[in-house]
Amino acid sequence: KNQVEQSPQSLIILEGKNCTLQCNYTVSPFSNLRWYKQDTGRGPVSLTIMTFSENTKSNGRYTATLDADTKQSSLHITASQLSDSASYICVVRMDSSYKLIFGSGTRLLVRP
């Protein structure tokens, strides 16, 4: 069954600290994996996309990794800010298909 699982479900960290969010998938055939950030009361916004050949990609303080062999991805947030408080959603696209498989998200709260 094609699934995307994210961990932890929720996370609380202090401002300035780093954190890592995990995404494991069993989607096949795999095309790409995208991380979205969803602020409270807003729609998700794309942070980054990882394709099969990419291991690491950075977008400011956000760094995504992909291990296609183990079917795992992570999103690392460096020097967290209050504005990083949001839900982070991992989405995997199946190859040659419109089909997207969504994880249920990790809710991050950054406290001052």
Partner 1 sequence: DVKVTQSSRYLVKRTGEKVFLECVQDMDHENMFWYRQDPGLGLRLIYFSYDVKMKEKGDIPEGYSVSREKKERFSLILESASTNQTSMYLCASRTGGYNSPLHFGNGTRLTVT
Instruction: By CB under 8 A, name the binding residues for partner 1.
Output: 4, 31-32, 34, 36, 41-46, 49, 51, 89, 93, 97-98, 100-105
- Residue 89 CB, nearest approach to partner 1 (Å): 7
- Residue 41 CB, nearest approach to partner 1 (Å): 7
Q: What's the rounded Cα separation, in Å, for the pair 94 and 46?
A: 17
Identify which of residues 41 and 112 has a Cβ nearer to partner 1 in the complex. Answer: 41
Identify which of residues 17 and 42 has a Cβ nearer to partner 1 in the complex. Answer: 42
- Residue 97 CB, nearest approach to partner 1 (Å): 8
Q: Got the DSSP string for 64-112?
A: EEEETTTTEEEEEE-S--GGG-EEEEEEEEETTSS-EEE---EEEEEE-
